[in-house]
Amino acid sequence: MEATWQEQLRTVGLRVTRPRLSVLQVLAERPHADVDTIVTAARAVHPTLSPQAVYGVLQALVSSGLARRIEPAGAPALFELRVGDNHHHLVCRSCGAVADVDCAVGAAPCLTPSDTAGFVVDEAEVVFWGLCRQCRVETPAETAQVLQHDNRGGTIA
């Protein structure tokens, strides 16, 4: 695995460094991890790694296209290594679990705006919100009804 990451780093013009390899390893093991999780996991392997260094590595990986940053509304930014396929995300309102979902319909960008205002659109970022399987099982019917009621209230207001 590490050999591949070294090649990938070189391909995008980044020097191969231990911190970069560590962060790549963490991202491979924990898709959709937030910064705190990545810092903690990377420092477990490299205690000398500062949070600032980890932020720097994430920044470099994202701007070079090796990693992708997603930002579900109201949630911390999440990072993943699955890039370039215009995939979307399912996010659980209750526990924050994130799952990948392939292109919504047909080829990227999946959504066709009614008016592109002259833009050439090549990507659409879609977040589907709901309750994950686990939370649906754990959520008592009463709470589920309250949630539904809240949703209706929101629509009327």
User: What is the contact surface with Zn ion in residues (CB under 5 A)?
Assistant: 80, 92, 94-95, 97, 100, 132, 135
Phi/psi for 136 (5° steps) reads: -65, -35
Q: Is 72 exposed, middle or buried, given 0-12, 13-18 or 19+ CB atoms closer than 10 A?
A: middle
Nearer to Zn ion, 3 or 141 (CB): 141
Q: How far is the CB of 17 from Zn ion (least distance, A)?
A: 25
Does 92 carry a binding-site annotation? yes
CA–CA distance from 115 to each of 65, 86, 118, 119, 128 (Å)? 28, 20, 8, 9, 22
Q: 29 or 115, CB closer to Zn ion?
A: 29
Residue closer to Zn ion by CB (options 23, 132) is 132
- The smaller minimum CB distance to Zn ion, of residues 62 and 97, is found at 97
CB 85, min distance to Zn ion, A: 9
Buried b (16+ CB within 10 A) or exposed e, 100-129: eeebeeeeebbeeeeeeeeeeeeeeeeeee
Closest separation between CB of residue 131 and Zn ion, Å? 6
Least separation in angstroms between residue 11's CB and Zn ion is: 21
The verdict on whether residue 103 carries a ligand-binding annotation is no
128 DSSP β-pair partners: 90
Known binding site: residues?
A: 92, 95, 132, 135
Point out the annotated binding site for Zn(2+): 92, 95, 132, 135
